[in-house]
């Protein structure tokens, strides 16, 4: 090709490009900060702003519109290192606050906006889910049919949790609420359940301890940690559980079973209380705003089992003071959820751990999810335990008991010992079936109380060595056959 031909071709291409180019006006709506206090900015000049829309301050720092007035809007500043001053320009973005979602989030620790907190590069994705999303419609939901196993004997047997259920964990500070939720996450290993742990208003060290435990037990490969610590603005703490739920909905839409732990909704309520007071909203009961029930109900209603798809199981945690479960936030969340697991300080102090109060705990729908084998051996455990606690009082008064009453006390004490379980020690459902079968058969009645758990573990060990098909059969067939019972008795009697 001659040089002149090349130049002519270039001129022609350049001319076509210039002629086809169209100048289009870019409309940018700009407002201005009129006042700022404690992470709350009052802005004028953005009359078309939407509720929950992201606005940008200088240096592209973000805020969220949380209140709309006649001529002004109020935005929550999400990052504490943002130096927003009077007369700072503010720009609309036109999109509602969203969080990046991807399979690559597994194993990561992020903040509610999707920014990495683990020192690794940002998650690369083009998919974003809005943090606020309508809960699935009634006709899109399915019945809760399958149990989500915690690996904790007292919960799986007496207060079973179904996939798609919302089960509240509540109790006083330092009674083991987070430990139960963390053990439940650890027990999902190799069970094809995606776990999300969201920390709301916790100390950084507490979140680091959880992250370290998950890493130690190789649970990060199926877990996402969403974190908004106590030193961050209330706006980010308020946003955290909604962002975590949006991430869960991404996996739900792909047919996965998801477990979300909200730790905890008491601090979430306090964060929203602080926001509302700064927004000059009138306080109601216990100084909480009038819509405090709504913010938790719209969050937890997003947990469900969908037809021909996955599920989101919610484990919200609520902190009580001096055991007062009748205070405002606990009663609110109790009325929203499908049951509660109550941890008692008195039980914790006498080393009954997990310190679950059997009388005040309940699972309203989880019993329908139990496999026949577990239901057979655990159906009357709560009744037996309640009878034991009722008659045990007489022995503390020095009254001698005989016959049937003595038998109730003897077996009840051993049941109480069996319900004790150290952290990070999990029992699979087939192992629990064997243990409670032996209890009902009276095998532990003649064994000293402090040796019951060791003997139960030894029976399981010997059963795996002598008749490994028994545990496998219970797991696969989900029933306890006569042949399996005979083999369990043979192993137990041979010790």
Catalytic residues: 364
d(CA 250, CA 197): 15
Strands 339-343 and 362-363: antiparallel
Provide the angle, in degrees to the nearest 10, between the axes of the packed helices 429-440 and 452-466: 120
Helix (H, G, I), strand (E, B), or coil: what is residue 374?
Answer: helix
Across 253-346, the runs of DSSP E, i.e. the strands, are: 257-263, 311-319, 339-343
The CA distance from 206 to 352, in Å, is 23
Inter-residue contact 158 to 150 (CB < 8 Å): no
Pairing of strands 72-77, 62-68: antiparallel
> Of 380, 381, 479, 367, whose CA–CA distance to 430 is shortest?
479
3 state DSSP class of 183: helix
Are residues 218 and 189 in contact, defined by beta-carbon separation less than 8 angstroms?
yes
Which of 91, 120, 100 is CA-nearest to residue 108?
Answer: 120
CB within 8 Å of 347: residues ≥ 6 apart: 353, 355, 356, 357
Which candidate, 474, 446, 476, places its Cα nearest to that of 460?
474
Dihedral (C-alpha) 240, 244, 246, 252: value to the nearest 10 degrees? Answer: -170
Nearest Cα residue to 178 out of 189, 170, 187, 190: 170
On whether the CB atoms of residues 273 and 328 are closer than 8 A, the answer is no
The dihedral sign for the CA sequence 422, 426, 428, 429: positive
Give the integer Cα–Cα distance in Å for 364 and 341: 11
**d(Cα 385, Cα 288) in Å, to the nearest integer?**
39
The tokens 């902190």 sit on which residue?
A: 319
Ramachandran angles phi, psi of 369, nearest 5° = -95, -10
**Measured distance CA(448)–CA(331) in Å, rounded:** 41
CA dist 315 and 382 (Å) reads 22
Distances (CA, A) of 390 to 385, 396, 405: 9, 11, 10
Q: What number of CA atoms fall less than 13 Å from residue 384's CA on the CB side?
A: 22
Distance, CA of 253 to CA of 262 (rounded, Å): 20
């Amino acid at each position: 090709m001659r040089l002149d031909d090349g130049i002519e071709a270039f001129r022609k291409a350049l001319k076509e490009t210039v002629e086809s180019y169209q100048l289009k006006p870019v409309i940018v709506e700009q407002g201005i900060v009129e006042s700022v206090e404690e992470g709350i900015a009052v802005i004028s000049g953005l009359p078309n702003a939407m509720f929950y829309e992201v606005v940008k301050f200088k240096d592209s720092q973000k805020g969220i519109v949380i209140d709309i007035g006649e001529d002004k809007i109020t935005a929550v500043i999400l990052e504490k290192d943002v130096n927003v001053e009077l007369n700072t320009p503010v720009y609309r973005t036109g999109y509602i606050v969203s969080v990046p979602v991807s399979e690559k989030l597994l194993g990561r620790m992020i903040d509610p906006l999707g920014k990495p907190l683990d020192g690794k590069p940002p998650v690369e994705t083009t998919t974003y889910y809005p943090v606020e999303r309508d809960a699935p419609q009634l006709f899109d939901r399915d019945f809760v049919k399958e149990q989500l196993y915690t690996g904790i004997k007292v919960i799986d047997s007496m207060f079973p949790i179904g996939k798609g259920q919302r089960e509240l964990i509540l109790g006083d500070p330092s009674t083991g609420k987070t430990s139960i939720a963390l053990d439940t996450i650890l027990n999902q290993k190799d069970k094809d359940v995606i776990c999300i742990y969201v920390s709301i208003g916790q100390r950084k060290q507490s979140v680091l301890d959880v992250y370290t435990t998950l890493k130690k037990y190789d649970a990060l490969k199926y877990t996402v940690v969403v974190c908004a610590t106590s030193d961050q603005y209330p706006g980010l703490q308020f946003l955290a559980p909604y962002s975590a739920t949006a991430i869960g909905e991404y996996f739900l839409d792909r047919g996965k079973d998801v477990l979300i732990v909200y730790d905890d909704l008491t601090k979430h309520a306090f964060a929203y209380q602080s926001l509302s007071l700064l927004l000059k909203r009138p306080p109601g009961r216990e100084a909480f705003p009038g819509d405090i029930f709504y913010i938790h109900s719209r969050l937890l209603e997003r947990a469900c089992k969908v037809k021909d798809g996955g599920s989101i199981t919610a484990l919200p945690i609520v902190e009580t003071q001096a055991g007062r479960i009748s205070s405002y936030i606990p009663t609110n969340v109790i009325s929203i959820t499908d049951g509660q697991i109550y941890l008692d300080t008195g039980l914790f102090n006498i080393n009954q751990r997990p310190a679950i109060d059997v009388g005040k705990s309940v699972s309203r729908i989880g019993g329908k999810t139990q496999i026949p084998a577990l239901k057979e051996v655990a159906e009357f455990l709560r009744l037996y335990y309640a009878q034991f606690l009722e008659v045990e009082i007489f022995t503390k008064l020095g009254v001698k008991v005989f016959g049937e009453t003595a038998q109730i006390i003897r077996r009840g004490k051993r049941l109480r010992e069996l319900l004790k379980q150290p952290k990070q020690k999990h029992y699979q459902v087939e192992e629990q079936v064997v243990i409670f079968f032996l209890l009902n058969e009276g095998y532990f009645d003649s064994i000293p109380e402090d040796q019951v758990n060791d003997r139960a573990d030894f029976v399981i060990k010997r059963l795996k060595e002598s008749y490994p098909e028994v545990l496998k059969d219970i797991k696969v067939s989900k029933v306890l056959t006569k042949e399996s019972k005979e083999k369990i008795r043979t192993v137990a009697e041979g010790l």
